[in-house]
């Protein structure tokens, strides 16, 4: 269970960090233009927070039941792999 928890913490911190960076980006757009587009808010803030909440609930459930460490590890690994294409769009591509 320890390896699954470590992987979950790394994934949670990565996605949570992106959410906080996204809040700064959206605030900068709002200062410059007047208001941020709804799609920008959804992509830069809501998506990372959603993944973070899913990971937190998964970690809580797996640790509370003390079962299925592979499920938590798999969920965390999938979220880390999904981070790569998300960052390609997040940073404007190649």
CA dihedral 34, 23, 84, 54 (to 10 degrees): -130
For the chain, give every domain's residue range: 2-90
Inform me whether the pLDDT recorded for 50 exceeds 90. Answer: yes
pLDDT value, residue 69: 85
Q: Residue 25 has which token pair?
A: 């980006």
DSSP letter, residue 34: S
pLDDT value, residue 55: 95
Nearest 5°: the CA angle 7, 13, 19 is 140
Question: If pLDDT is split at 50, 70 and 90, which confidence band does 76 have?
Answer: very high
Which of the residue ranges 21-25, 68-72, 79-83 has the most confident prediction, judged by mean pLDDT?
79-83
Q: 54 and 82 in contact (C-beta within 8 Å)?
A: no
């Amino acid at each position: 269970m320890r390896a699954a928890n470590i992987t979950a913490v790394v994934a949670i911190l990565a996605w949570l960090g992106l959410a906080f960076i996204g809040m700064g980006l959206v605030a900068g757009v709002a200062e410059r233009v007047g208001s941020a587009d709804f799609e920008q808010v959804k992509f830069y803030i809501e998506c990372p927070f959603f993944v973070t909440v899913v990971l937190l609930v998964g970690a809580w459930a797996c640790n509370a039941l003390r079962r299925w460490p592979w499920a938590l590890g798999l969920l965390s690994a999938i979220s880390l792999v999904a981070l790569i294409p998300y960052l390609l769009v997040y940073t404007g591509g190649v």
